[in-house]
């Protein structure tokens, strides 16, 4: 820990050279994922680093320290530190470690079932699977969300192999083609895995975007959702 403290102290002096160094408290914390926090409270700088990083190289700690302190103090840092950090977290070793930690620590999101008041997600999936995937897509768990939200319309939880659709769409007031598009979008996440390119994680790959435009009512659905 002494070496890590030295790295953060050096980074602090680099970012705020004319500011006295506050009392520093650093700990490895069992976050669910690759999260880190830095906060200043009563002249105490409290740093929490994901325990997934417990054996990270010194250059990664240095980049992380500059990123966290730069964000805390609203200072720009050289983009190479972001590139160094991204390359590390997107490595196969760290991604696999993070996946295992998420599986072990995260609680399975409580599912609400695929039968809504007006729509059945199971029937919706099967219809789209036949129309666009020739019934080749393996069916994950399907569930309406706990709340009727317009902010997260749908999501594919890869850790628990579950598609969640916002309960907002379980309504006769919503065009069926819009709800179909949201489900189709999440089904594409089942088909197309994200990949690393130029030290960045690409979630919507070119193949994903090409497939997405195959949806028969793509333009109309996108236009309707923009008005939410």
The verdict on 131 and 90 lying in the same domain is no
Q: 43, 71, 105: which is the final residue of a domain?
A: 105
The verdict on 74 and 150 lying in the same domain is no
Q: Is the pLDDT of residue 210 over 60?
A: yes
The verdict on 130 and 208 lying in the same domain is yes
Domain count, the chain: 2
Q: Where residue 30 sits, what CATH number does that domain have?
A: 3.30.2010
Can you give the pTM of this predicted structure?
Answer: 0.63
Dump the DSSP string for 91-156.
SHHHHHHHHHHHHHHSPPPPP--SB-SS-BHHHHHHHHHHHHHTT-SPP-EEEE-SS--SS--EEE
Summarised one tens digit per residue, pLDDT across range 79-138 is 999 999 999 999 989 988 888 787 766 554 556 789 999 999 999 999 999 999 999 999
3-state secondary structure of 201: strand
- Percentage of residues in the chain having pLDDT higher than 70: 92
For the chain, counts of helices (H) and of strands (E)? 8, 8
Lowest mean pLDDT, pick from 130-144, 172-186, 197-211: 197-211
**Of all helices (H) and strands (E), which one includes residue 206?**
helix 206-212
- 28-37, 101-110, 119-128, 148-157 — most confident range: 119-128
Q: Which residue range forms the structural domain that includes residue 14?
A: 2-105
Q: Is residue 114 part of a domain?
A: no
Q: Is residue 18 part of a domain?
A: yes
């Amino acid at each position: 820990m002494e070496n890590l403290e030295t790295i953060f102290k050096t980074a602090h002096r680099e970012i705020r050279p004319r500011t006295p160094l506050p009392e520093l408290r650093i700990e490895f914390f069992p976050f669910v994922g690759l999260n880190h926090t830095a906060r200043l409270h009563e002249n105490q700088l409290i740093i929490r680093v994901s325990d997934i990083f417990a054996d990270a190289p010194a250059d990664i700690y240095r980049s992380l320290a500059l990123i966290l302190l730069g964000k805390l103090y609203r200072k720009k840092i050289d983009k190479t530190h972001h590139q160094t950090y991204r390359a590390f977290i997107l490595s196969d070793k760290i991604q696999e470690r993070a996946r295992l930690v998420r599986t072990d620590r995260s609680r399975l999101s409580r599912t609400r079932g695929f039968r809504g008041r007006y729509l059945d997600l199971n029937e919706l999936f099967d219809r789209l699977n036949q129309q666009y995937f020739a019934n080749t897509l393996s069916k994950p768990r399907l569930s309406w969300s706990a709340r009727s939200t317009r902010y997260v319309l749908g999501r594919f939880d890869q850790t628990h192999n579950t598609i969640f659709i916002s309960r907002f769409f379980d309504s006769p007031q919503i065009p069926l083609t819009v709800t179909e598009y949201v489900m189709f979008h999440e089904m594409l996440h089942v088909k197309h895995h994200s990949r690393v390119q130029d030290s960045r994680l690409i979630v919507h790959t070119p193949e994903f975007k090409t497939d997405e435009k195959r949806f028969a009512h793509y333009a109309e659905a996108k236009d309707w959702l923009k008005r939410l």
